[in-house]
Amino acid sequence: MIELKSLTKRFGSFTAVDGISLSVQSGEVLGFLGPNGAGKSTTMKMLTGFLPPTAGTAVVNGCDVQENTLQAQRQIGYLPEGAPLYGDMSVGRFLRFIAEIRGFRGGEAEKRVLQSVDRLELRGVYHQSIETLSKGFKRRVGLAQAILHDPKVLILDEPTDGLDPNQKHQVRQLIQALSQDKIVVISTHILEEVSAVCTRAVIISAGRVVADGTPVELEQRSRHHQAVSLVMNAEIDVSSLRGLPGVADVQTDESGQQVTVFPANGQAIFPHVQALVQEKGWQVEAMHVERGRLDEVFREITIGGAQ
Residues in contact with other proteins by CB under 8 A are 11, 45, 48-51, 70-71, 73-74, 76, 78, 80-82, 84-89, 93, 97-98, 100-103, 105, 129, 145
Altogether, the residues listed in the chain come to a count of 307
Q: What residue type is 76 in one-letter code?
A: I
- Measured from the CB atom, the residue of 129 and 220 that comes closer to other proteins is 129
Count of other CB atoms within 10 angstroms of residue 127: 10
Smallest separation (angstroms) from other proteins to the CB of 109: 10
Smallest distance, Å, CB 78 to other proteins?
A: 5
CB of 13 to other proteins, least distance (A): 15
Comparing CB distances to other proteins, the nearer of 88 and 118 is: 88
- Whole-number minimum distance, CB 180 to other proteins, in Å? 24
Phi/psi at 152 (nearest 5 deg)?
A: -75, -25
**Of residues 103 and 304, the one with the C-beta less far from other proteins:** 103
Which of 129/257 has CB closer to other proteins?
Answer: 129
Q: Shortest distance, CB of residue 152 to other proteins, whole angstroms?
A: 13
Q: CB-based burial of residue 238 (10 Å sphere; 0-12 exposed, 13-18 middle, 19+ buried)?
A: middle
Closest to other proteins by CB, 104 vs 298, is 104
In the complex, the smallest distance separating the C-beta of residue 98 from other proteins, rounded to whole angstroms, is 7
Backbone phi and psi for residue 50, each to the nearest 5 degrees, phi listed first: -80, -45
- Cα separation of 273 and 261, whole Å? 8
Name the minimum Å distance from CB 12 to other proteins.
Answer: 11
Please list the residues that pair with 89 across neighbouring strands.
none
When the beta carbons of 144 and 277 are compared against other proteins, the nearer one is 144
Q: What DSSP line would sit under the chain, residue for residue? A: -EEEEEEEEEETTEEEEEEEEEEE-TT-EEEEE--TTSSHHHHHHHHTTSS--SEEEEEETTEETTTSHHHHHHTEEEE-TT----TTSBHHHHHHHHHHHTT--HHHHHHHHHHHHHHTT-GGGTTSBGGGS-HHHHHHHHHHHHHTT--SEEEEESTTTT--HHHHHHHHHHHHHH-TTSEEEEEES-HHHHHHH-SEEEEEETTEEEEEE-HHHHHHTSTTTT-EEEEESS---THHHHTSTTEEEEEE-TTS-EEEEEESTT---HHHHHHHHHHHT--EEEEEE----HHHHHHHHHHHHH-
Q: How far is the CB of 4 from other proteins (least distance, A)?
A: 17
**Of 60 and 203, CB closest to other proteins:** 60
- Specify the residue, 63 or 297, whose C-beta has the smaller distance to other proteins: 63
